[in-house]
Structure formats: structure tokens, C-alpha cells
């Protein structure tokens, strides 16, 4: 007669022998910890993306504003500003 092993646990993971296989069972705590970690990483990446996107768009539109304002000063007219508004809309 074969000796039956008792389930061994390592941080909530149970290795249960079943005939010639060892079935690994994850507890709900392990699954929730994984989900929480992935959600946290996703939220962090989303926040970083928002900040970087804002910084890049701010830099782009500030450069466009400086260029258009210089054109307005050179031409002594608001026509370049109106052209830029038409281009952006």
C-alpha cells in the first residue's frame, strides 16, 4: 500500500497528490494578491502616461504658440494666428 502524503502548503498553495499527478490548488488570497498587484501596476502606468502625455503636448503647443506669436509680430497682423486656429480646428 502506498503512503499518502498530506497536502503541503507554501504561502497558500496546496500540492495535493492525486493518483500519479500532483494537483496544485491556488487559494483565493493568492489570486486576489495577484489581481491587486496587476491593477496597481496598471494604474501606475496609466498615471505616468497621463503625466508624460501632458508634458509632451504642453511642450508642443508652447513651441507652436511661440512660433505663431513671432509670425504675428513680424507681420504686424493677426492673420498668422487665424491661420493657425484654422489649421488646428
What does the alpha-carbon distance between residue 35 and residue 25 come to, in Å, rounded to a whole number?
17
pLDDT digits (tens, 9 = 90+) for 34-82: 889 999 999 999 999 999 999 999 999 999 999 999 999 999 999 999 9
pLDDT digits (tens, 9 = 90+) for 3-21: 555 555 455 566 666 666 6
Distance of CA 10 to the CA centre of its chain: 31
Cα–Cα distances in Å, from 80 out to 14, 42, 44, 61? 71, 42, 41, 15
Amino acid at each position: 500500500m502506498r503512503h499518502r502524503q498530506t497536502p503541503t502548503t507554501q504561502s497558500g498553495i496546496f500540492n495535493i497528490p492525486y493518483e500519479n499527478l500532483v494537483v496544485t490548488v491556488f487559494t483565493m488570497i493568492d489570486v486576489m494578491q495577484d489581481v491587486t498587484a496587476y491593477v496597481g501596476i496598471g494604474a501606475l502606468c496609466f498615471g505616468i502616461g497621463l503625466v508624460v502625455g501632458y508634458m509632451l503636448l504642453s511642450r508642443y503647443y508652447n513651441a507652436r504658440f511661440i512660433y505663431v506669436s513671432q509670425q504675428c509680430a513680424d507681420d504686424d497682423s493677426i492673420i498668422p494666428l487665424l491661420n493657425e486656429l484654422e489649421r488646428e480646428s
